[in-house]
Structure 1
Amino acid sequence: MDFRIEYTWDGFPVKHEPVCVRLSPGEKGVKMEVSAPFFNDPPAPLGEAGKPFSELWNYEVVEAFFLNDTTEQYLEVELCPHGQHLVLLLSGRRNVWKKELALSFKVFRGETNWKGIAFLPWSYFPPNVTKFNSFAIHGSNDKRSYEALYPVPQHELHQGQRPDFHRLEYFKPFSFNTPLGEEWKQPESDLWLIEKPDM
């Protein structure tokens, strides 16, 4: 399952080689591979590579959101070219109930591009993922760039609107059954079933 982030959050074509996200679901989870330009802007977070980093969205990141659009439960994964990551579980728009979950994540970085490989266990995914979106952020101050796989349609923009990656209504249909077959059932998650989030 390959995705190319070819637009800014508000629907304009990006002016560089698009960020690519590949999802390869398997028996124990999903391998998420990122291939992206390396902007090195802003500078690296002051956190250890391979560890979670709070508020990673303020840095250079590629993000993936996996949503159950009936319950508004979703998994947010943020990967940074400097090796830090952030995994959030949300129940309701912007309502984080678990954060900084552990992640197997490796980065291979050159001068102008980077690749990242993360392994997302099935337990991190909310039951019955139905929609998806992916984002990329880089740059500092007025050069900050927000990019989206599925942007806000330009005819729905209003003056002064800011990028908001939690506009779940703009996510698009998604199913792991596409690569895994119609008979496949998403494994149950101890995280989501046992520890029901407070609504």
Structure 2
Amino acid sequence: MDFAITHTWDSLAVNRDPVTLKLTAGDGGLAMEVQAPFFNDPPAPAGVPGEPFPGLWDYEVVEAFFLNSTTEQYLEVEVCPHGQHLLLLLSGKRNAWKQGLNLAYEASIYGDKWKGKALLPWRYFPPGVDKMNSYAIHGSGNGRTYEALYPILREEIKEGQGPDFHRLEYFQDFSLKDIMGPNWMQPESELWKEC
């Protein structure tokens, strides 16, 4: 399943090659591949590549959110071109109850582009995922740019409003069965039973 982020968070068109996200069946989880322009702005975080990095959203990053819209439980996945990542499990809007989980993730930069590959274990997904959204962020200061797969409609933006990636009402329908097959059943997660 392929996605392209072609708009900013507030529905303006992106005027360059878009960030793309590819989701496929993986061994014990969902394989996620990101391809994106490389801005190198801001510079790389100080964390070790392949390790979780708190506050990664302040850097150049691509994010994917997987939501159960009834319970408002969701998985937030953040990856960056320099190899760091951050996973958050949330129960209710912005209510992270677990973060800094391990992830098999590698990234490579080639010229003005980068690619990242991750395997998202099923135990990280809340039961009953039925919606998703994805975002890309880069730039510093006034040049900070926020892009969204499913952006907020221009006519719904209030004066002074900024980007907010936890506006769950803008997430769109998504079924893991479309990737895994119609007879696939999402494995139970002992991790989510702790929530």
Normalised by the length of structure 1, the TM-score is 0.96
Q: How does 1:157-168 map to 2 (within 5 A)?
A: 157-168=157-168
1:40 deviates by 0.2
Alignment partner, residue 174 of structure 2? 174
Structure 1 runs of 4+ aligned residues shifted over 4 Å read none
Whether 1:10 and 2:14 are equivalent positions in the alignment is no
Q: Aligned letter for 1:93?
A: K
The answer to whether the aligner puts 1:33 opposite 2:33 as a matched pair is yes
TM-score (norm: length of structure 2): 0.98
Aligned to 1:79: 79
Deviation at residue 190 of structure 1 after TM alignment = 1.1
* RMSD of equivalent CA atoms: 0.8
Using the alignment, how far apart are the partners of 1:93 and 1:179 within structure 2? 26
Instruction: Say whether residues 1:144 and 2:144 are aligned partners.
Output: yes
Aligned to 1:188: 188
* DSSP-derived class of the 1:114 partner: strand
Distance 2:50 2:164 in 1: 27
CA distance in 1, matches of 2:100, 2:156: 33
Residue 132 (structure 2) pairs with residue 132 (structure 1): yes
3-state DSSP of counterpart to 1:178 = helix
- Conserved in 1, the CA contact under 8 Å of 2:26 and 2:119? no
* Deviation for aligned residue 1:80: 0.5
**Contact 1:25 1:176 survives alignment (8 Å):** no
Which structure 2 segments of 5+ residues have no match? none
> C-alpha displacement at 1:83, in angstroms?
0.6
Q: Distance in 2 between matches of 1:183 and 1:101?
A: 29
**What is the CA-CA distance between 1:27 and the residue it aligns to?**
4.8
Cα deviation for residue 110 of structure 1 reads 1.1
Unaligned runs of 5+ in 1: none
**What code does the residue aligned with 1:17 have?**
D
